[in-house]
Amino acid sequence: MNPLENNVIFITGASSGIGKATARQLLESGAKVFDFSRTNRLADELPGVTSYLGDVGSEADVQAAFQLCQDTYGPVDVLINNAGLGLPTPDLAETDLETYERMMNTNVRGVFLCNREALRQMKPRQKGHIVSVISMAGQRTNPGAPLYCASKFGARGLSSGLADQVLKLGIKVTDVNPGPTDSNYWGDRPVAREKFLQPDDVARVIAFVLSQPEFVVIREINFDNMKFLAG
């Protein structure tokens, strides 16, 4: 029996990269996939997906998206917090407040808002799984992106505390922490993409986490491309 079949999976930031690869794999596993992204409706590319365009940092958008998901498929079984924003800040003294607020709005506030709405659908049934794509930037700092690391450390702290809070209710919380991944995050920066993970690699890890037996709890999973670690 496929453990993901007919699961209602709400995924943020599924218009490209890790989110898109994950949505595709889960759809192929028989899940009911709901895409909540700022741009580019995934439903236009993947038949069977329902999309809502909005901002994870907007309380009204988050509430409307979760309501549409419930009206379309039923209550959420799995939330995947994948939406993220990364902006380089190599000189903090020259970084404007807008850059800070944009990253915190997506990477921390957005995770809080989506977690809260998902829990409102999961707690009455005492079941559910929240997966947050945090990144290794939530565990090791980067001098070129201290604010991005701060946002990811914040999201990881939120996730860890929540895991302790809801485990007794039958709800699982997992952090998925990939190392550098070949995605739009890097833009045109001169980086060694051949040493990075691919979005499909991360999607397979997420699918692995979700396919475990109900009694198995994975709190955190860290992984990198071997070539990146070797230097």
For residue 30 the two structure tokens come to 């028989």
Q: Which residues pair with 176 in a beta bridge?
A: 133, 221
- Assign 96 a pLDDT band (cuts: 50, 70, 90): very high
Q: What is the pTM of this model?
A: 0.95
Residue 180 has pLDDT above 90, yes or no: no
Residue 218 has pLDDT above 70, yes or no: yes
- Assign 1 a pLDDT band (cuts: 50, 70, 90): low
Residue 2 lies in a domain: no
- Assign 193 a pLDDT band (cuts: 50, 70, 90): confident
Cα 225–chain centre separation? 19
Question: C-alpha angle with apex 36: 115 to 98, nearest 5 degrees?
Answer: 75
The number of distinct structural domains making up the chain is 1
Average pLDDT, the chain: 93
Residue 39 lies in a domain: yes
168-191 in b/e burial notation, b at 16+ Cβ within 10 A?
Answer: eeebbbbbbbbbbbbbebeeeeee
Percent of the chain scoring above 70 in pLDDT: 98
Residue 104's domain is classified under what CATH number? 3.40.50.720
Structural domain that includes position 185 = 8-230
Q: What is the DSSP string of the chain?
A: --TTTT-EEEEESTTSHHHHHHHHHHHHTT-EEEEEESSS-GGGTSTT-EEEE--TT-HHHHHHHHHHHHHHH-S-SEEEE--------S-GGG--HHHHHHHHIIIIIHHHHHHHHHHHHHGGGT-EEEEEE--GGGTS--TT-HHHHHHHHHHHHHHHHHHHHHGGGTEEEEEEEE-SBSSGGGTT----GGGSBPHHHHHHHHHHHHTS-TT----EEEE--HHHHH-
For residue 187, the model assigns a pLDDT of: 67
Residue 127 lies in a domain: yes
Contact call for residues 14 and 37 (beta carbons, < 8 A): yes
Residue 94 lies in a domain: yes
Residue 161 has pLDDT above 70, yes or no: yes
For residue 58, the model assigns a pLDDT of: 98
Average pLDDT over residues 133-159: 90
Residue 107 lies in a domain: yes
For residue 141, the model assigns a pLDDT of: 84
Residue 98 lies in a domain: yes
Residue 3 lies in a domain: no
Average pLDDT over residues 138-163: 92
- Active centre residues (catalytic): 135, 148, 152
Residue 1 lies in a domain: no
Higher-pLDDT residue of 43, 112: 112
Residue 64 has pLDDT above 90, yes or no: yes
